[in-house]
Structure 1
Amino acid sequence: MSERIAFRMKVHPGRIAEYKKRHDEIWPELVDALRAAGITDYSIWHDPETDCLFATLIRSDDHTMADLPKTDANKRWWAFMDDIMDYNPDGTPTVVRLDQVFHLE
């Protein structure tokens, strides 16, 4: 059985157009890495009042999301996005995992 997860990130003020442009042109090798890790149905929304990004994705039971940061495509993408998003000192995006409190199917 798959699992839906949600998390929050933050885009720098005034940079959402660039953020969207980069995602409109997402690299095929990054898409391949995400799919190989068992990720599907990945969506990101923007809150213009806070510049927070809200993301959801579905991951398979046998997902390998923990290995994604080791892939060349993921490392290059994070470096590419560093100038328009909040990042940790270690070069990883600042991500806050969100807990589900309600679901209606």
Structure 2
Amino acid sequence: MQHTGVHMTWSMAVTEGCAMERVCFTFELYEGAEVEYKRRHDEIWPELVSAIQAAGLKNYSLFRRGTQVIGYVEAHPDAATAFAKVAESEFNGKWSEWFKDLIVNQASDRGDQLSFTEVWHLE
């Protein structure tokens, strides 16, 4: 089964009085791009890391199996706010452009992210 695009699940939580949204997403890499995808993340720009953290994204992880990448991040106070802040960063745009040759597609044909419903969570 071939998976393409980005599929996301967002789940709101309130932890210690702070609103937070859990986000899970997946997308496909082009065949043969796996090593380069890892190499580029090994050299992530400090300015981008700072922008991600300043936007309220925390506990951010990426996992890869073959060409499929799965990510998890906690967005404070919510995904829309945090991702909008990251999008304002000049480094995010440059980073995204740099990855166009590695990532098959990050959105549906309509340009939106496909979401899933979180079915279970344990703190």
Q: Normalised by the size of structure 2, how large is the TM-score?
A: 0.71
Residue 32 (structure 2) aligns with = 14
Q: Does 1:45 align with 2:63?
A: yes
Partner of 1:55: 71
Q: 1:64 aligns with which of 69, 82, 86?
A: 82
Gaps of 5+ in 1: none
8 Å CA contact retained: 2:30, 2:103: yes
CA–CA distance in structure 2, aligned partners of residues 96 and 59 of structure 1: 17
- For residues 46-98 of structure 1, the C-alpha deviation after alignment (integer angstroms, 9 at most, x for no partner) is 122xx221100011116431232232100000111111112369xxx985434
| TM-score, with length taken from structure 1 | 0.81
Larger Rg: 2
Larger relative strand fraction: 2
Same amino acid, percent of matched pairs: 32
2:74 partner letter: I
Distance 2:55 2:121 in 1: 25
